[in-house]
């Protein structure tokens, strides 16, 4: 797992997977514009033994931060591609990312099946 963007991306060696968005500096790594770079409230990662209600409230607060982040798309894709196993990234919790990844895998399988069917039909 790489360092999370929320605190240590300033020093982390994160792959520069960037998707051009708007007027952003296209030469800068996406995480330089992360609004969570200084997560002083500790919103993005669970402390140990966090009660469920507290976790849900913390994750909702983290998602509100993500919703106003200019690099949400890049962050989400980074977390899905790694994949990042913990924390809120790109507005998704780890559980939500697992669901997205499972959907992508199912879709890939369906597309391969469809391609084979088309090829077999000649
Ligand atoms: S989308 Fe959320 S987790 Fe990702 S960089 Fe922005 S604020 Fe941080």
- CB of 43 closer than 6 angstroms to any ligand 1 atom: no
Cα(86)–Cα(1) distance, integer angstroms: 9
pLDDT digits (tens, 9 = 90+) for 27-47: 778 989 999 988 888 999 999
Q: Indicate the average pLDDT of the chain.
A: 85
> What is the distance in A from the centroid of ligand 1 to the CA of 72?
6
**How close is the Cα of 112 to the center of ligand 1, in Å?**
33
- What is the Cα Rg of the chain in Å? 17
Phi/psi of residue 37, each to 5°?
A: -55, -30
| 7-30 pLDDT tens trace | 544 334 343 343 444 556 667 789
pLDDT category at 4 given cuts 50, 70, 90 is low
What does the pLDDT look like over 45-64, one tens digit per residue? Answer: 999 999 999 999 999 999 99
Assign residue 84 a region: left if phi > 0, alpha if psi is -120 to 50, beta otherwise?
Answer: beta
- For residue 3, give the DSSP letter: P
Q: Is the CB of 9 under 6 A from ligand 1?
A: no
Q: What is the pLDDT of residue 41?
A: 81
């Amino acid at each position: 797992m790489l360092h999370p963007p929320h605190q240590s991306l300033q020093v982390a060696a994160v792959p520069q997977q960037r998707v051009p968005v708007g007027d952003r500096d296209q030469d800068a790594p996406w995480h330089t514009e992360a609004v969570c770079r200084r997560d002083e409230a500790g919103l993005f990662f669970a402390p140990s033994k966090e009660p469920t209600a507290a976790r849900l409230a913390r994750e909702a607060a983290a998602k509100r931060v993500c919703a106003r982040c200019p690099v949400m798309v890049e962050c989400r894709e980074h977390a899905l591609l790694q994949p990042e196993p913990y924390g809120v990234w790109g507005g998704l919790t780890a559980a939500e990312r697992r669901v997205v990844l499972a959907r992508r895998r199912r879709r890939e399988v369906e597309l391969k099946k469809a391609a084979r069917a088309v090829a077999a039909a000649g």
